[in-house]
Amino acid sequence: MQRLILALMLMATTSGCGAGALLRSPGDRREEIAAAVAEALDAEKGWQTRFVERRTDSMLAEQQEIASRTQEIDHRTKLLQDQLDDVARRVPSIADPGFGRVPASPVPTAADRAEIAAMRHDLDAMTGAVAQLLSDRDRSEAVARARFERLELRTSDLAWPGDGGAEMGLHLASYRTHEAALRGWELLQARHRAILGAETPTFVEVETVAGRYVRLFVGVGLSEPVLTGLRDGVRGGGDYAMVLPLPKAGPGS
């Protein structure tokens, strides 16, 4: 509108200048002014139209973008709703009367009860057999220890025949071969390292009524109190030990 007012003022100013303006009639001047006004109005109308069109295009683009975003939001909302529905189908409802209850186990049939009773009977029998084996083992160990104690008691007061000054030692075990005796010594030393760790083994081959054996001794030549202390330590660990004189070596030893 400011442009239109400026155009009319310009036309009115310029229309009265020059010699030609003096020869025109008032009617011609009014027609010329009317034409100029119409032209200015058309120009103003065209500028406003273009402005409105540009604004309209911008608004349409914004509306299309909003519609696209709305459609994307609707799509995501539908996906979330589908996931929630799926979870609701898989998870029992708190309002369900059976919610939180453990399903009842099936009632065993007569055959199942009979099989269970048989399994329990076999289990009880195996448990009793294992207990009996453990009891027999403990009894056997007790009997062996008692025999060793009785043997030591019976022989403690005996005077061994003179054999040219035989040395005393701690008898730990007897084996069929030297290899077995060496392995047995390694095992006993490992089990009683605090007692036998510093001792040196002595292997003596002897002939007995049961055949040839290799006897394992330690502490040969030590005093009787020291040998007795070693004996008590080995026995305390659960193994056999006896203070005996070293026998004469058999042939081939």
**Domain annotation covers residue 58:** yes
**Domain annotation covers residue 92:** no
pLDDT at position 85 is 79
For residue 41, pLDDT beyond 60? yes
Residues contacting 249, CB < 8 A, separation 6+: 204, 205, 206
Packing angle of the helix pair 2-14, 26-90 (nearest 10 deg): 170
Domain termination site, one of 31, 57, 73:
73
Domain termination site, one of 50, 73, 96:
73
**Domain annotation covers residue 29:** yes
CATH number for the domain including 224?
A: 3.30.70.1070
Model confidence at 52, pLDDT cuts 50, 70, 90, reads low
**Mean pLDDT (the chain, rounded):** 76
Amino acid present at 2 = Q
**Domain annotation covers residue 118:** no
For residue 116, pLDDT beyond 60? yes
Q: Sign (positive/negative) of CA torsion 96, 99, 101, 104? A: positive
Which among 168, 183, 171 has a CA at the least distance from the CA of 221? Answer: 168
Residues spanned by the domain of 20? 2-73
pLDDT at position 201 is 94
**Domain annotation covers residue 43:** yes
Q: Which residues pair with 175 in a beta bridge?
A: 214
For residue 206, pLDDT beyond 70? yes
DSSP class of residue 219 equals: S
Q: What average pLDDT score do residues 103-113 get?
A: 76
Identity of the highest mean pLDDT range in 23-27, 105-109, 193-197: 193-197
For residue 251, pLDDT beyond 50? no
Q: Which residues of 203-234 are buried (b: 16+ CB within 10 A; e: fewer)?
A: ebbeeeeeeebbbbbbbbebeeeebeebbebb
Contact 29, 15 (CB under 8 A): yes
Domain termination site, one of 73, 90, 112:
73
Amino acid present at 174 = S
**Domain annotation covers residue 215:** yes
Which H or E run contains 52? helix 26-90
**Domain annotation covers residue 160:** no
Name which of 9-13, 55-59, 141-145 the model is least confident about: 9-13
- 12-39 residue pLDDT tens: 555 555 445 555 677 777 787 877 777 7
Using DSSP's 3-state secondary structure scheme, residue 161 falls into coil
Residues contacting 34, CB < 8 A, separation 6+: none
The total domain count for the chain is 2
Residues contacting 218, CB < 8 A, separation 6+: 169, 170, 172, 196, 199, 200, 201, 202, 230
**Domain annotation covers residue 111:** no
CA distance 210 to 222: 30
The residue among 155 and 243 whose pLDDT is bigger is 243
